[in-house]
Amino acid sequence: MTQRSWWGAELLGRHADDEVWARAADREVTFGRLRHETAWLAGVLRHYGIRARSTVALGGNVSFTYLWTLFALWSLDAQVVLVETPPGRRPRDVPPGPERVQFSVSLGEGRERPHDFVDECEVLVRRRAGGAPGTSGHCLVQFSSGTTGRPKAIGRSPESLLAELDRLAAVEGVARRGERVAVLEPLSRSFGLIGGMLHALAVGATLVLPTARTAAAAVRAASGAHVVLGNPHHFRGLAWAEPGRFPHLRLAASSGDALPPEIPAVFRGRHGVRVGQAYGTTETGIVAADLTGRFGPAGVGVPVPGTRTRVVGGVLEVHVPESPYLYDDTPWAGGWMSTRDLVTRDPLTGALRLRGRVQGVGDASVDLLRIESVLRAHRHITDAVVLGVGPIEAHVASSTELEGDELRSWCRRFLGAAPVPDRYHVLRELPRTARGKAVRDRGVLRRHRTHPPGACRCISW
């Protein structure tokens, strides 16, 4: 497949050579440089035997090199498996993707801090014994977050990526040509890669990357941006930045996890901009969006154009024509995929409001996220995860001995006659995935409660 014929060639070729494609601190890369490096690296990778249908695991140091390596692999029509380096791990310590891939491409293996940005880094290519070429039309393989169980390998085709870019372009408030877009979410994840980097590339906006995974680096990246994309953790840190630190900011959008209501309230009060949300899954890409924040922190907006959704038993389902699960032989019938998210659809606006994750059976009208918000407001609780809907279980993090009557009275005080948890589990801290997302799987939480012994007290009525 030639440089001119691959599915993303038109995206890379839209803008003038001297226009700025990406920036990190005081370092800039033009579109011309991006195209040159992509073409050069494609030639190098081709000499290693990577070509159409090759399966390649890509991971390592955050860098400009990471992105033009990704484009180079795509230009060869390879199937790229993105491997994320968890915090505290080095690229050389991370398994190089599924056993069945033919090649692994690792960036910056010798570096001790892979999440700190570097302009360029070394590229190490290894051929994997026993690997097999791709048999599907997927160009991208990512892994789900694992919040409700073991992460799954999810494939995206070129057609699905281009269709998602078209859907994003129709969303109110998205980044425009000439704007600076700070993407705080890792580029190995769907929102950072597609909603951030690829959308900016498509419209001619400048991608701005943080130089580290720290609150200070996020503030620096956002300080000159018109648009900031991140997750609730990022916006919690940005909210408390000095007022006036973001003079150009017009849009702030969170994704990846439920947005606690106190974060947008503080952010708007200090910076004058509402925090909106984008909602989606790794399997489907973006599903709904409220980038301007007009529906409030519980609202994730209306389904984006071109997306088919329905609510069955209080749970959101999205139509996916073919199975997105790459290594799952389970027959894909009907095309409707359950997100396992409890939602309410506004009959007038069509906007979706998240209410938590479904676990078990029972009253699907329960607002689990509201219960979490009430529990987090308790002065001795630092985090909360509530699972339902039968029974409703609250897992809270606290360094203080809390009594069951106190927690129950607290919830009743603010929730009134609405359902409250049947059981409360008090832990020193709650488990999180490698991506930092709260775990919402009963089995995982149950194992966490019993290890180490004595770290949890169960209070039930």
Q: Does domain 1-17+26-135 have CATH number 3.40.50?
A: yes
Instruction: Spell out a b/e string for 91-124, using b for 16 or more CB atoms within 10 Å of the CB, else e.
Output: beebebbbebbbbbbbbbbebeebbbbbebbebe
Secondary structure, 3-state, 159-174: HHHHHHHHHHHCCCCC
Of 42, 47, 93, nearest to 70 (Cα)?
A: 42
The pLDDT assigned to 303 comes to: 96
The pLDDT assigned to 357 comes to: 80
The pLDDT assigned to 91 comes to: 46
The pLDDT assigned to 236 comes to: 94
The pLDDT assigned to 401 comes to: 83
**CB-based contact 361:390 (threshold 8 Å):** yes
The pLDDT assigned to 458 comes to: 47
* Number of C-beta neighbours around residue 270 at 10 A: 17
* Number of C-beta neighbours around residue 394 at 10 A: 26
The pLDDT assigned to 148 comes to: 56
**CB-based contact 282:138 (threshold 8 Å):** no
Residue by residue, pLDDT tens for the chain (461 residues) are: 444 589 999 999 999 999 999 999 889 999 999 999 999 999 999 999 999 999 999 998 889 999 999 999 999 999 999 988 655 555 444 445 566 899 999 998 877 776 788 899 999 999 998 889 998 889 999 987 665 556 788 999 999 999 999 999 999 999 999 999 999 999 989 999 999 999 999 999 999 999 999 999 999 999 999 999 999 999 999 999 999 999 999 999 999 888 888 999 999 999 999 999 999 999 999 999 999 999 988 899 999 999 999 999 889 999 998 888 887 767 777 789 999 899 999 999 999 999 988 765 456 678 888 898 899 989 899 999 998 767 889 999 998 888 778 898 999 998 888 889 999 999 888 888 766 778 888 878 888 877 643 454 544 43
The dotted CATH code for 361-460 is 3.30.300.30
DSSP 101-157: -SEEEEE-TT-S-TTS-BS---EEEEEPTT-----SS-SEEEE---TTSS--EEEE-
Topology annotation, domain 157-357: Rossmann fold (3.40.50)
Task: Give the residue extent of every domain in the chain.
Answer: 1-17+26-135, 157-357, 361-460
Q: What is the largest CA-CA distance in the chain?
A: 68
Q: Is the pTM of this model over 0.75?
A: yes
Whether 361-460 and 157-357 are alike in CATH topology: the answer is no
DSSP 308-327: -EEEETTEEEEE-SS--BTT
The pLDDT assigned to 2 comes to: 47
